[in-house]
Amino acid sequence: MRLRADAGLDAWHVACVRNAHSHATARAPDHNMNDCGPLTDDAIAFIREQAFLIVATADATGNSDCSYRGRQPRADGSFEPLVDMPDRRTLVLPDFAGNNLFNTIGNLLVNPAIALLFVDFVRQTTWLVQGRATIDEDAASRAHQWPDARRYVVVEVEQAQARADAALPPLVLA
């Protein structure tokens, strides 16, 4: 989905959200949820539980692009990790074959700013991770985690911030 910076996200794919929360575990929110900084233990645990994220990038003129990224299923019925977190300041996302528009990768090549939004509608909590990204073209380097990835987006975390928000629509799973 291509968005301009002043446009809003109009719809959400509820089936993906339902799948994301079918295996989530409950965690109490961090009491310091509005502190910015590197990834805390609570942030790492929250991110590892999520099955999807929204990645936002912008081109050199500020036109933004937001896209959904979800876990990929494995042959045994389990799921590949959503991201890898080698340390508190680094997130790695796989880049798979998609719609061949290359909006995210193309934007990052001209503007390395990136935002990752992890949304938990059940707990009405979000984590926003912002940073600078580089592209790792060595698909074999993490093939043990993501065998079908074509490349990786490596995010140097500049800040991560959680927000518990009662205004976030709650999702009740049937």
Structural domain boundaries in the chain: 14-164
State how far the alpha carbon of 65 is from the alpha carbons of 61, 82, 140, in Å: 12, 20, 27
Give dist(CA 136, CA 95) in Å, integer: 10
Spatial neighbors of 109 by CB under 8 A, at least 6 apart, are: 135
Q: Does domain 14-164 have CATH number 2.30.110.10?
A: yes
Task: Check if the beta carbon of residue 145 is closer than 8 Å to that of residue 84.
Answer: yes
Strands (E), the chain: 52-58, 64-70, 84-87, 90-95, 113-120, 125-136, 151-164
Q: What is the pLDDT of residue 117?
A: 97
Reported as a single tens digit per residue, the pLDDT across 34-55 is 556 689 999 999 999 998 999 9
Give dist(CA 139, CA 102) in Å, integer: 16
- One-letter amino acid at 104 equals T
Residue 70's nearest CA partner among 11, 129, 134, 116 is 116
Average pLDDT over every residue of 61-70: 94
Helix (H/G/I), strand (E/B), else coil: 144: coil
Reported as a single tens digit per residue, the pLDDT across 139-170 is 999 999 999 999 999 999 999 999 988 788 88
Locate 91 and state its tokens.
């997130």
Task: Check if the beta carbon of residue 160 is closer than 8 Å to that of residue 128.
Answer: yes
Reported as a single tens digit per residue, the pLDDT across 75-84 is 899 899 999 9
